[in-house]
Amino acid sequence: MNPARWPLPASAEATANIAMVKYWGKRDAALNLPAADSVAVCLDSFPTRVDVTPCAAAEDEVWWSGRPVPPPRIGRFLRVLAILREQSGCRSAVRADVRSQIPDAVGLAGSSAAMAAFALAASTAMGVELSPRELSITARLGSGSASRSVPGGFVRWHRGHQEDGSDSYAEEFASAAHWPDLRLLAVIVSREPKAVSSTVGMIRTARTAPLYPMFVEQCGRLAADAQAAIASRDFGWLARTAELSAQTMHGVCLTARPPILYVRPLTVELVEHVTELSRTLPLFFTLDAGPNPFLVTLAPHDETVAAEVARAFPDVEILRCGVGGGVRIVA
């Protein structure tokens, strides 16, 4: 390899993934190694695009929606670039431009898509060829959940046991075509940035919440259940598993010191309404570190679910998605 050739311009796209069994807590914060396995569904819509280009400036630059990413947030991107530089020998600075179609900082997993696309665009720009497993590991160094936006479809992120994180990566266990009827609806009840980031929230929970060990202990079992429920397309089993994972994550956050409450009154009303609707429709909810639930249902009921939610909550915005994804190079 001739390092002087690199970097070349490269662009990649990825979509967010929504955890059915949550990642909440790290066994190693520097390497984003999770305390437990997690299982997620990758979305087919609202991709995030990252363009990496050579940069004349002395330092690397990362721009998000046309604005420079400030410290400490840029540190995640720089960490990924540092690892890639070790592998490529490329010393010149790069500029990355992130354009996300997902509202930023509202808990809709936009950073998972951005970091997965960034890992692919930057590694390609620097001439580093990575296997899917290595790419998932590289994305993980920027943000844990980004490891799951690399493969696409239905994915499991292995906790792994190695201290260097070489066995902690996400892989597809079923393709999007395995369950084409599955539909996800993001319900945006608030666009306010969350007060406590996922990173800070999970570290605080692990350090201070008395119920945290119990939460971690159940994650492995729930991940196995979610994978088996998806493999057998058992909607009811997936619903029970995913709701339990989200509820215990939010429950354990409430027992942190100081407590963390991500939901808003409207979130609670919506969840109650969804529970009511789920008596007659295939439907469940999940909640990440924010007030905006994702609803999961089966086609053709997504039309009815969207209409019912819009009728009861006229001010919320609803984004409808299917299963898909997988990071890719784009022109």
Round to whole Å and give the CA distance between 289 and 199: 10
Does residue number 22 form part of the binding site for ligand DP6 (CB under 6 A)? yes
DSSP assignment string, 109-172: -HHHHHHHHHHHHHHHHTT----HHHHHHHHHHH-GGGGGGTT-SEEEE-----TT-TT--EEE
- Judged by CB under 6 A, the stretch of 20-28, 81-89, 178-186, 263-271 that binds ligand DP6 is 20-28
- Give 116's contacts (C-beta < 8 A, 6+ positions apart): 14, 139, 146, 147, 149, 150, 327
Per-residue mark of binding to ligand DP6, 67-106 (x: CB under 6 A): ----------------------------------------
Given the complex with ligand DP6, which of 196 and 305 has the nearer CB atom? Answer: 196
* Pairwise CA distance, residues 143 & 65, whole Å: 19
- In angstroms, rounded to a whole number, what is the distance separating the alpha carbons of residues 53 and 69? 16
Report how far residue 229's alpha carbon sits from residue 244's, in angstroms, rounded to the nearest whole number.
14
Residue 143 binds ligand DP6, judged by CB under 6 A: yes
48 touching ligand DP6, by CB under 6 A: no
**φ/ψ of residue 12, rounded to 5:** -145, 160
111 interacts with ligand DP6 by CB under 6 A: yes
CA proximity to 145, closest of 167, 112, 171: 112
Q: CB under 6 A: which stretch of 21-29, 84-92, 166-174, 222-230 binds ligand DP6?
A: 21-29
| From candidates 123, 145, 149, 168, binder to ligand DP6 by CB under 6 A | 145
Q: What residue number has its CB nearest to ligand DP6? A: 144
Q: Tell me the C-alpha distance between 142 and 118, whole Å.
A: 9
The order of strands in the sheet holding 154-157 is 17-21, 38-42, 154-157, 170-174
- Out of 92, 199, 208, 218, name the contact with ligand DP6 by CB under 6 A: 199
Q: How far is the CB of 23 from ligand DP6 (least distance, A)?
A: 3
Q: How far is the CB of 137 from ligand DP6 (least distance, A)?
A: 13
By the rule CB under 6 A, 158 interacts with ligand DP6? no
User: Per CB under 6 A, which region of 42-50, 140-148, 174-182, 271-279 contacts ligand DP6?
Assistant: 140-148
Applying CB under 6 A, the span of 53-61, 81-89, 139-147, 221-229 interacting with ligand DP6 comes to: 139-147
Cα–Cα distance for residue pair 307/318, rounded to 1 Å: 10
271 to 290: interface string for ligand DP6, x by CB under 6 A:
-----------------xx-
Nearer to ligand DP6, 188 or 277 (CB): 188
User: Contact with ligand DP6 (CB under 6 A): which of 6, 12, 14, 32?
Assistant: 32
Considering the rule CB under 6 A, would residue 138 count as an interface residue with ligand DP6?
no
Length of the chain: 331
Q: Which stretch binds ligand DP6 (CB under 6 A): 6-14, 19-27, 78-86, 172-180?
A: 19-27
Check residue 15 for interaction with ligand DP6 (CB under 6 A): no
- DSSP assigned state of 46: S
Q: Which residues of 94-126 are buried (b: 16+ CB within 10 A; e: fewer)?
A: bbbbbbbebbeebbbbbbbbbbbbbbbbbbbbb
Looking at the Cβ atoms of 44 and 277, the one nearer to ligand DP6 is: 44
Contact predicate 133/169, CB 8 Å: yes
Largest Cα span, the chain: 63
Q: Report the site for ligand DP6 in 217-276 (rule: CB under 6 A).
A: none
Which residues contribute to the site for ligand DP6 (CB under 6 A)?
19, 22-24, 32, 38, 109, 111, 143-145, 198-199, 288-289
